[in-house]
């Protein structure tokens, strides 16, 4: 019997069923934002942290009428938040009770390739998979989702996605009370059929996949977040299949960007907007006055994107996503720290030539589409490499690399803007603009098990815009000249 999720959604029983689901200025925010529960964990004999996860079908209420059949982990829709600290050994016992094979991938995590949960680690229906690894990276907002070959878009769309929060032993002075002043914000769009089923049809042109009319946060449509403290930290995840958001606020207020995909910035960066393509995260801190209300909004892009992109970023239709409602009295928050994290640059010279080039076009990288039996290249363990990624068609793309957090070296030959100066594992690649990234591969050599790199527009990934690399024993010079994979 699928668990009903109305209670998890705040139990208000109010579901916005109007046509203007997210039209700016027209949304009635009637549903209290659901907060994904923190997954309980237990200790194994060696002091490691063990999570039990189970994927299954369920039902979730997106609007009035029938509940929607969905998939979820430890619940009917979405997944609990996993949380672990640097230095801890984590084991996840994952049982698949879905009717088909799936996988669980730890997006942004430095893990041995066999534990990565990519397409080479399928978990059959009824089977259990128990990856284990030691967390060895800074505090960050990571996430997890399935990665089955050719089926990732559907499995994520049906509901399999959750946050994986990593902590540092030393506090950073940011709001950190989960669900109170430290809020997960998983933004996903979807379409419902007349019968309230998830509409899995690709209505778009150009193969971008599902772009939804209804934008939800943590599965809640038309959500409001009660704010009880002077400052609130939002951990934004673009968990959508294809849509790109450029987040800002209805009032035009600024906020502090404090973290990107793989960790905290060196210092807070005050800005009015942050753009996230699918898979990207941002941590922001917003200060509200008592009684104030403001709307988290997805705005049209400012510059640098062509018309095609505008459609996915909101373009003509600015989208209202969530209302923040400050209580008449707010509990004190400590001031924002001036410094957050050490961020040594992997590569200091933006003119450093790339050792590999990747041209994204249609469903291909350098003219080739994903082949499970082809490893595209090997990287030496411990080496730092500069890669150059360019989207050469007009479609929206981004670029995600497994295992390694990277740094953006340059965008179109220039130093990256402040919002791209922190650790990243996914970066938007505007059409025709070469994006250079620096990566260091710290993984155990495992020439038999590849890691993936791909566009995180999930239909692009499923259709072949993905490749594989392995980490091999150190020794070869890392930044050797390109044996490029150009085939033109
Ligand atoms: Cu978020 Cu290869 O995936
Ligand atoms: Cu793409």
Q: Which value does ipTM take for this structure?
A: 0.98
pLDDT for 309 equals 52
Indicate which CATH number applies to the domain containing 121. Answer: 2.60.40.420
Do 11 and 142 reside in the same domain of the chain?
Answer: yes
Q: Given the CA of residue 402, which atom of ligand 1 is nearest to it?
A: 2
Rounded distance from Cα 280 to ligand 2 centre (Å): 14
Q: What digits encode the pLDDT tens for the residues 235-284? A: 999 999 999 899 999 999 999 999 999 999 999 999 999 999 999 999 99
Residues of the chain by 3-state class (helix, strand, coil), percent to 5: 5, 40, 55
Do 252 and 309 reside in the same domain of the chain?
Answer: yes
Q: Is residue 339 part of a domain?
A: no
Nearest ligand for residue 209 CA: 2
Q: What is the pTM of this model?
A: 0.93
pLDDT for 287 equals 98
Q: Is residue 114 part of a domain?
A: yes
Q: What residue owns the CA closest to ligand 1's atom 3? A: 107
Do 276 and 403 reside in the same domain of the chain?
Answer: no
Do 251 and 122 reside in the same domain of the chain?
Answer: no
Do 191 and 310 reside in the same domain of the chain?
Answer: yes
Rounded distance from Cα 68 to ligand 2 centre (Å): 28
Q: Tell me how crowded residue 254 is: count the other CB atoms within 10 A of its CB.
A: 16
Q: Is residue 47 part of a domain?
A: yes
Contact residues of ligand 1, CB 6 A cut-off: 105, 107, 145, 147, 279, 400, 402, 452, 454, 456
Do 275 and 361 reside in the same domain of the chain?
Answer: no
By the 10 Å C-beta count (0-12 exposed, 13-18 middle, 19+ buried), 11 is classed as exposed
Rounded distance from Cα 425 to ligand 1 centre (Å): 9
Do 18 and 109 reside in the same domain of the chain?
Answer: yes
Q: Is residue 303 part of a domain?
A: yes
pLDDT for 310 equals 53
Low-confidence ranges of the chain (pLDDT < 50): 1-14, 17, 19, 304-308, 315, 477-488
Q: Is residue 350 part of a domain?
A: no
Do 56 and 189 reside in the same domain of the chain?
Answer: no
pLDDT for 311 equals 56
Q: What is the span of the domain harbouring residue 447?
A: 356-472
Cα distances from 293 to residues 154, 283, 290, 457, 462, in angstroms, run 35, 20, 9, 33, 40
CA atoms within 13 A on the CB side of 233: 26
Q: Please give the tally of structural domains in the chain.
A: 3
Do 293 and 189 reside in the same domain of the chain?
Answer: yes
Cα distances from 389 to residues 360, 422, 486, in angstroms, run 7, 18, 12
Q: Given the CA of residue 453, which atom of ligand 1 is nearest to it?
A: 2
Q: Is residue 402 part of a domain?
A: yes
Do 134 and 199 reside in the same domain of the chain?
Answer: no
Do 215 and 323 reside in the same domain of the chain?
Answer: yes
């Amino acid at each position: 019997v699928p668990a009903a999720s109305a209670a998890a959604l705040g139990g208000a029983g109010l579901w916005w069923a109007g046509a203007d689901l997210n039209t700016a200025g027209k949304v009635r925010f009637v549903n209290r934002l659901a907060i994904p529960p923190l997954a309980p964990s237990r200790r194994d004999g060696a002091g490691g942290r063990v999570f039990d996860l189970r994927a299954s079908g369920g039902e979730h209420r997106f609007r009035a009428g029938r509940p929607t059949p969905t998939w979820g982990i430890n619940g009917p829709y979405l997944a609990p938040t996993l949380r672990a600290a640097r230095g801890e050994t984590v084991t996840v016992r994952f049982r698949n009770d879905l009717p088909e094979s799936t996988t669980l991938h730890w997006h942004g995590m430095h893990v041995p390739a066999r534990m990565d949960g990519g397409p080479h680690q399928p978990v059959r229906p009824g089977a259990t998979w128990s990856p284990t690894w030691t967390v060895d990276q800074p505090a960050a907002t990571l996430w997890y989702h399935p990665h089955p070959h050719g089926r990732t878009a559907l499995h994520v769309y049906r509901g399999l996605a959750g946050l994986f929060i990593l902590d540092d032993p030393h506090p950073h002075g940011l709001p950190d009370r989960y669900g109170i002043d430290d809020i997960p914000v998983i933004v996903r769009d979807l379409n419902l059929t007349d019968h309230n089923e998830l509409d899995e049809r690709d209505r778009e042109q150009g193969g971008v996949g599902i772009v939804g009319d209804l934008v939800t946060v943590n599965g809640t449509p038309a959500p409001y977040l009660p704010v009880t403290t002077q400052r609130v930290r939002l951990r934004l995840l673009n968990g959508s299949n294809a849509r790109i958001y450029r987040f800002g606020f209805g009032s035009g207020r600024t906020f502090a960007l404090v973290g990107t995909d793989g960790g905290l910035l060196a210092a807070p960066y005050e800005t009015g907007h942050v753009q996230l393509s699918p898979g990207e995260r941002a941590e922001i801190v917003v200060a509200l006055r008592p009684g104030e209300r403001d709307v988290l909004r997805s705005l049209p892009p400012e510059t640098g994107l062509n018309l095609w992109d505008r459609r996915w970023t909101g373009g003509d239709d600015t989208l209202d996503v969530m209302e923040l409602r400050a209580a008449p009295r707010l509990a004190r928050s400590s001031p924002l720290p001036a410094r957050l994290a050490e961020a040594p640059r992997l590569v200091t010279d933006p003119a450093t030539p790339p050792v590999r080039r990747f041209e994204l076009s249609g469903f291909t990288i350098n003219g080739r589409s994903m082949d499970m039996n082809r490893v595209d290249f090997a990287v030496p363990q411990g080496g730092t490499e500069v890669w150059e990624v360019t989207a050469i068609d007009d479609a929206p793309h981004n670029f995600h690399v497994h295992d390694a957090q990277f740094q953006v070296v340059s965008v179109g030959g220039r130093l990256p803007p402040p919002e791209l100066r922190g650790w990243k594992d996914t970066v938007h690649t505007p059409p025709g603009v070469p994006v250079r990234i620096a990566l260091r591969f710290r993984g155990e050599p495992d020439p038999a098990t590849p890691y993936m790199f791909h566009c995180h527009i999930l239909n692009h990934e499923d259709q072949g815009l993905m490749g594989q690399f392995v980490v091999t024993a150190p020794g070869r010079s890392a930044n050797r000249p390109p044996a490029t994979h150009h085939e033109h």
